[in-house]
Amino acid sequence: MLIDDKQLNELIEESQDQHSDAMRQANAVLPDMRDHANDRRKSAIITPDEIRALQESRSNLKLKLAGVAGIGALSYGVGSLFARPVAADTSLDIQMLQTNASLEILAVATYKAALGLDFIANGNATVKAFAEMTMKQHDEHMDAFNAQAKALGGAEQTVPNPKYTPIVEAAKPTLKAPLDVVNLAITLETVATETYLAECAMLTDKTAIGLVASVMGVECQHLATLRAVGALLAGGADALIAIPTDVASLPAAAGSVAFPEAFEPTTMASPADEGAVK
């Protein structure tokens, strides 16, 4: 199968530009975040107004999640959050950033393991290039989330997500073909995308919201690509996974498979404290 290196490089460059924009904005405001964290540490007391604001935020989030994804999203994604006393939310932003870092650490390890498989390393060049670029971006996302957590007075997260690490480890022996790898990656990218989406309604620090929203856009791009590639592999059309693509030969569903829903749900969103430093 012929690969158009020029167009492949242009696609990778476009994705990298989006990723770089998110990282540049995050790094630019780190000094301000450190000052903000120092101010917060000087007064650990939560005022009644702050408690009322947090309670109102929780109520609004419940309504939003129920409207977008149904009540099941609450029990899976943020049920533990609503069960905690409001006063525990003082470090909620830090917990979410640490959980995000844990997801990114696991993603890096998973893509690295996939690139060590012969059918990925010596298989479709487009799939390999995507995996290499995506692994690098996840590594930088991890650094960004940890930097933000530290700037707010928290600790770095250095271990992979405790919920999904056993799932990935159990899946590794079953990875026998490219579609197996793609499906595993889809799971991780879905969790990341939906987690960051849910967090945009829960975070209180504006800079953290900006970082999480920016990274979510990159993860959503990863997810859309994987869905399209997975559909082609499942349909036995792996020859179409190339740049440039023979558009006329693509199946009719090619235009919608990458974004099956108008809005991403939050049914697979990780709770805020799932990957927090203990």
Which distant-in-sequence residues (6+ apart) come within 8 Å of 211 by Cβ?
22, 25, 26, 144, 145, 148
DSSP code of residue 5? H
Question: How is residue 97 written in tokens?
Answer: 């950033």
| Alpha carbon separation from 230 to 31, 91, 140 (Å, rounded) | 42, 39, 25
pLDDT confidence tier of residue 78, bands split at 50, 70 and 90: very low
Mean pLDDT of 59-86: 49
**pLDDT, tens digit, 9 for 90 and up, residues 95-110:** 999 999 999 999 999 9
Question: What are the start-end ranges of the H helices in the chain?
Answer: 5-28, 30-42, 48-69, 72-73, 79-83, 92-115, 118-121, 125-151, 165-171, 178-199, 206-234
| Alpha carbon separation from 151 to 39, 95, 144, 207 (Å, rounded) | 12, 13, 10, 11
- Per-residue pLDDT at 2: 43
Mean pLDDT of 126-135: 94
pTM: 0.74
pLDDT confidence tier of residue 25, bands split at 50, 70 and 90: low
> Domain ranges in the chain?
5-39+49-255
The CATH number of 5-39+49-255, from 1.10.10.10, 3.30.1340.30, 1.20.1260.10, 1.10.760.10, is 1.20.1260.10
**pLDDT, tens digit, 9 for 90 and up, residues 210-248:** 999 999 999 999 999 999 999 999 988 888 888 777 778
Q: Inform me whether the pLDDT recorded for 7 exceeds 60.
A: no
Mean pLDDT of 57-64: 55
Mean pLDDT of 119-143: 95
Question: What are the start-end ranges of the H helices in 200-274?
Answer: 206-234
Place of tokens 């159990």: 170
Mean pLDDT of 121-131: 93
- Per-residue pLDDT at 255: 74
Please provide residue 277's backbone torsions phi and psi, each rounded to the nearest 5 degrees. Answer: -70, 125
Mean pLDDT of 32-37: 54
DSSP code of residue 71? T
pLDDT confidence tier of residue 80, bands split at 50, 70 and 90: very low
- Per-residue pLDDT at 70: 44
Q: Inform me whether the pLDDT recorded for 145 exceeds 60.
A: yes
What's the half-sphere exposure (Cβ side, CA atoms, 13 Å) at 95? 18
- Per-residue pLDDT at 254: 75
% of the chain with per-residue pLDDT over 90:
51
